Structure 1
């Protein structure tokens, strides 16, 4: 899905189809914050879709954009903008790491997430973030965003189905 199409859907949900309250630039900024949030939540939940295999030659391989951490233990550490070997080896090896999705720059870019669940989560986050600027604080939107966040990070409500106690 293109960013422009996504922004149109966000504008409809915010009730701002004419884009009087929110500019495309502002919604793209909110979208980038949402991409970062969703990426980090999926990495925290050990989502295999966030894993990238890289070939590392210590001292020569640059840290990839969006690098968060290695999957498991690897004999490398970050030295400036490149990987270095813990044991001084210069041998090339394959490593697996978690990499956050790239931000978007313009309305013509493709979204880095393309499954329905991710698009729904991005939509919820963007609506909450953009709405916060104008004081739009829908309990439904906030609760939905929190539930999505909890689902991705593996949290569950321990009191699910329990009757709320009145104070």
Structure 2
């Protein structure tokens, strides 16, 4: 579950959407992980939340090096910018939640999530999270029905 409180996040739907992202990105399903908050792309774990792990991982399938880490698979270069913007002290679970919410806000999807327009929010955020349907990055994309089911399971309400 998201570590940020529903009050601080903007409601229970926002927390449920964060849980959907972690499920979709598979981080919350990695055995032994801290609900995905300590996952490096490829499935290895890190233990120090003082900073983004900044580990460069070769992804042979896509022939790229990635620094994606954390529950929402944030790249190191974006962490630097969000750390400054949000005045975050570290890469702890709460900081990761705040970054994901800011990214959602920047996609103009936060209000959709709050009121339960789940499908609209997913469509607006798919360019950030490659596992969302229609992302087009070549990664596995989940079906919208499966994501919607996870949203409701996580306590989200649809309109």
TM-score (norm 2): 0.32
Structure label with greater radius of gyration: 1
Structure of greater relative contact order (alpha carbons < 8 Å, 6+ residues apart): 1
